Amino acid sequence: MTVLIEPDLGRVSGGLRYNRAVADAAHGAITRHALPGTWPAPSAQDDAALRHLAAHGTEPVIVDGLIGCSLREPLEAAVPLIQLVHAPLALANPAARERERANLAAAGAVVTTSHHAADQIRDLYGLDATVAAPGVRQREPASGTATGWHLVCIGALEDNKNQLFLARVLSALAESGVAGWHCTFAGPPTDPAYTQRFEEACAALPRDSVSIVGELEPQAVDDLLAASDLLLLPSQRETFGMVVTEAASAAIPALVSAHTGAEEALAAGRALPLVRQQWVTALTRWLTDTEHREQLRDAAARHRPGLRTWEDTARDLLGAVASCGAGSATELPSERNPQ
């Protein structure tokens, strides 16, 4: 059994959701071990705990990159070590670059969660990575609204997810005279100062046009998507954007940031540069052009049956484990569930 060591963050994150889903889809071939610590800035005690865990393992070890790429010295173990990189640390913190380079170079294999991230690893460090892109579980097509006016933005309230930019887009949309829409923002407030600025911007929007619902349990996310029409993801950086495929599994198109990994996840919709007027124009067309709206909805419905499953992801990850001398990848069911 392969062990996946992940950080105990005390909150939900995209990386931890990926880890949980891929482990569940591996049907016992991968088990998760949450490690407390101040990752990605570990104390000496955090570092020692990780080394002890890796040194006493008897099976291959997958180390979440938030942990494994933050070490001052690479891990040493008698079993194969695989680095699972959700997003290169150096992109957010250039000071982490040399540590990340050394840790990745010492690994038996490097796995990224998107082709976008694999390209970044190659550009930063000249290293090749196996891609195990996220899958998605089956959902019923969203019922949405007849008007297409329920917009949704799902992600932690923080600068990178860029909800403040979206609030300013919605303000400009309202000022242009386009009314009747409603946008629901869901996600944990991880940056208090940013959350306050965002809430202040939302308070200036038209009455009852915005809901801020905080972090949701999985069933509540499903319920929200089922009643939504269009996903908005204006991130400044995005490795993949699992919420885009989650929306796609409900036949919901999306507007996402161009030149990010969210383009890779996009099944139907548009990728836009972070230029306020371009987002206002795209939303205006979605809200006022029925034919355009139906074209995007139809495209999302066509792509829905062919979306990757989490079993596909687990097979890719276990294949990387096998490639570094850890035996054969566990056989997983190859057939897709009917959509």
Spans of all domains in the chain: 2-135+309-323, 150-305
The end-to-end CA distance of the chain, in Å, is 31
**Using an 8 Å Cβ cutoff, are 159 and 297 in contact?**
no
* Residue pointed to by tokens 């306050």: 196
Please determine, looking at this structure, whether the domain spanning 150-305 carries the CATH number 3.40.50.2000: yes
Residue 280, pLDDT above cutoff 50: yes
Please enumerate in sequence order all residues whose Cβ is within 8 A of that of 34, keeping only pairs 6 or more positions apart, or say none. 6, 7, 8
Same fold, 2-135+309-323 and 150-305: yes
User: Among candidates 267, 15, 263, which has minimal Cα distance to 141?
Assistant: 267
CATH of domain 2-135+309-323: 3.40.50.2000
129-142: average pLDDT: 94
* pLDDT per position as a tens digit, 36-48: 999 999 999 999 9
Whole-angstrom distance, CA of residue 157 vs CA of residue 214: 9
153: helix, coil or strand? strand
pLDDT at 339 over 50: no
pLDDT for 325: 64
For the chain, what percent of residues have pLDDT higher than 90? 86
* Mean pLDDT of all residues in 239-255: 96
Q: Is the pLDDT of residue 179 over 50?
A: yes
Q: How far apart are CA 157 and CA 240, in angstroms?
A: 18
Please state, rounded to an integer, the average pLDDT across all residues of the chain: 93
pLDDT in tens, 318-337: 999 998 864 433 344 444 44
Q: Give the mean model confidence (pLDDT) for residues 251-269.
A: 96
Where is pLDDT greater, at 328 or 5? 5
pTM for the structure as a whole: 0.90
pLDDT band at 264 (very low <50, low <70, confident <90, very high): very high
Q: What is the pLDDT of residue 59?
A: 86
CA distance 333 to 323: 20
Q: How many CB atoms lie within 10 A of CB 189?
A: 16
